[in-house]
Each structure stands twice: as structure tokens, then as C-alpha cells.
Amino acid sequence: MKREAFECEIKLNGLWKKVTVEEAREQGDVPRRCMECGGPIVLMRSGPGGVPRAHAEHRPGHKGCSLGHYFEGIKSVSPSRVE
């Protein structure tokens, strides 16, 4: 079963916090990253009736993260890691 990116990390008061994508959207323009590889992400809204669910997508894609659709089977830290 493929894991989905319904959660991410946002930086508040200098600390990274794991939140849902919906919570991250409510925070506005704060640093955000993938909770698995630390790479840059874009937050996607939910569709009509909640399908698809709100989720995060890697930008740029990262083949070392199981939360993205570019995953090639070996996990690694994003080369574009957001600090």
C-alpha cells in the first residue's frame, strides 16, 4: 500500500512541527517540508467532497522519498532539504 503525504512539517518559532496539510495551510506563509525526507513541498487543496484529500507534493520531485510518486525504492534525504 502506497503511503500518502497528508501530513508535513512546518517551522514555527524556530522549531519543526508535524501537522496535517490542512493545519499547514491555515498557518499561511511559513517554511514547510516533507516530514520524511525534508524536501520542499507544495500544499494541495482537497477536491470536491474531499476527494482527493488535501496532501503535499514534492517540488522538485525526489526519488528517495516514499511519500512521493517519484520513489524508486531506496529512502534518502532530499538533496534540496529545507532547513
| 68 class by beta-carbon count within 10 Å (0-12 exposed, 13-18 middle, 19+ buried) | buried
What pLDDT is attached to residue 3?
A: 56
- Alpha-carbon separation of residue 80 from 51, 61, 63, 77 (angstroms): 29, 10, 12, 8
What's the total number of domains in the chain? 1
Per DSSP, what are the bridge partners of residue 16?
11
Question: Do residues 55 and 26 lie in contact, with contact meaning Cβ atoms separated by under 8 Å?
Answer: no
What pLDDT is attached to residue 2?
A: 46
Mean pLDDT, each 10-residue run in order, the chain (83 residues): 74 95 92 96 88 88 90 94 95
How many residues are there in the chain?
Answer: 83
Quote the pTM value.
0.85
What pLDDT is attached to residue 1?
A: 34
Range of the domain at 73: 1-83
Tell me how crowded residue 60 is: count the other CB atoms within 10 A of its CB: 10
